[in-house]
Structure 1
Amino acid sequence: MKNIFKQAIVAVGLIAAAQGVLAAGDAAAGEGKAAMCAACHGADGNSPAPNFPKLAGLGEKYLLKQMHDIKAGDRQVMEMTGLLDSMSEQDMADIAAFFDSKTTQLAGAKPLTVRVNSGADVDGLALGETLYRAGKADVGTPACTGCHSPRGQGNEPAGYPRLSGQHADYIEKQLRDFRAGARVNDGDQRTMRSVAKNLSDAEIKALANFISGLN
């Protein structure tokens, strides 16, 4: 009886190990599988269009989660409707590994003036930096640095994406979507929705512009 139990434990361990191997992404295998993504995201994950996100170096764990969420319908991305339906877990893991292995090309921040709710015109770069590094203490909005790091490099083990160098237009849209509840795949803690809900349009624009120049 003990031998049967031991054999069962070993078998379960081998199955788990095999699943772990399957879940590991292979960047080399992902290159060919990612060819379909190039039209929007660029062959190396550096999208030339500001409305499509750069995927290069974004974080393997984060990229895989987004594909899972889009495939399951938990994140609505019209341009990706049906594109992931036939992909296996391994396919998505390989694609995530491929894009994460690439180097992000920095978008670069631009001089910007924004009009805040008081009606004053302020330096958008300075406002964006303040929001990124300090948040808005008066309404409990945390700094972005806690999850995405001071340089915008993200936190790969935690699945927090790299923001540095991302297109400002794309970041702005995501923050607006989180604020409006149009994007809700930020977990049970509603982290991004909680952050975005107290940001004005001007603050979102300033923050997105600053982030695009982080490195």
Structure 2
Amino acid sequence: MKKLIAGVVLGVSLTSLAYGAGDPQAGEQKAAVCAGCHGQGGQKPVMGSYPKLSGLGEKYLFNQLQAIKSGKRAVPQMAGILDNMSTQDLQNLAAYMDNQEMIVNQADPALIAQGEALYRGGNLASGVPACAGCHNPQGLGNKPGGFPRLGGQNAEYVMTQLKAYRSGSRATDSNSAIMMDVAAKLTDAEIEAVANYVSGLH
């Protein structure tokens, strides 16, 4: 039993090292350029269509920064911003943003019940799995797996991304295939409800 526990602890430690390679302090120096759109520490974007970056998970953030820099994920508003950053700069920036506190929004009460049912239980009739399976019942995400935190994210941004997955226009990494399959089965009403729900989830 002790060997089993030791093995689990070692495995968790190695996983932590694998996705926790950035230096948050070094990342803070690079984050000034992000504040104009995403707010200080990535906590309060200037528009609801921009994502909060705080606490999303270092691995997820790093993967997205790489995809945006390479052009694999097209984000016109970020054109050229990452060009002069090295891979380590991106890792440090991801670590810094991940260390910032997510500020949770106020969800629309009228849509909470529908959104919660979908987030926690999915839709058996259409084959939509529960969002909580990958993104955590509290919306905290799965950092080692690269699944981002959703709790507190701007509803407008979540809606836009779900529709991008549904159309196939967002296909940036191995997790994209999962999201495209899920989003393909979501109606506009379901997307609106679940996006609203996660915006206030904590």
Instruction: Give TM-score scaled by structure 1 length.
Output: 0.81
Residue pairs, 1:118-157, within 5 angstroms:
124-157=111-144
User: 53, 56, 68: which one pairs with 2:66?
Assistant: 68
Q: Distance in 1 between matches of 2:174 and 2:92?
A: 24
1:83 is matched with: 81
Pairing 1:42–2:49 present: no
Residue pairs, 1:181-200, within 5 angstroms:
181-187=168-174, 190-200=177-187
Q: Distance in 2 between matches of 1:103 and 1:85?
A: 27
Q: Distance in 2 between matches of 1:90 and 1:135?
A: 38
Distance apart, 1:81 and its partner CA: 1.2
Q: Distance in 1 between matches of 2:157 and 2:140?
A: 17
Moved over 3 A (4+): none
SS in 1 for 2:140: coil
Q: Distance in 1 between matches of 2:198 and 2:182?
A: 15
1:121-143 Cα offsets, whole Å, 9 max, x none, are xxx22111111011111222110
Distance apart, 1:36 and its partner CA: 0.4
Q: Distance in 1 between matches of 2:31 and 2:119?
A: 32
Aligned residues: CA RMSD: 1.7
1:30 is matched with: 27
Percent of aligned pairs sharing the same letter: 50
Distance apart, 1:186 and its partner CA: 4.4
Distance apart, 1:47 and its partner CA: 2.5
Q: Distance in 1 between matches of 2:139 and 2:175?
A: 23
Counterpart residue identity of residue 198, structure 1: K
SS in 1 for 2:81: coil
1:212 is matched with: 199
Q: Is the 1:155–1:162 Cα contact (8 Å) retained in structure 2?
A: yes
Q: How many residues were matched structurally? A: 184
2:56 is matched with: 58
Q: Is the 2:42–2:100 Cα contact (8 Å) retained in structure 1?
A: yes
Q: Where does the alignment leave 5 or more consecutive residues of structure 1 unmatched?
A: 1-19, 113-123
Bigger radius of gyration among the two? 1
2:5 is matched with: none
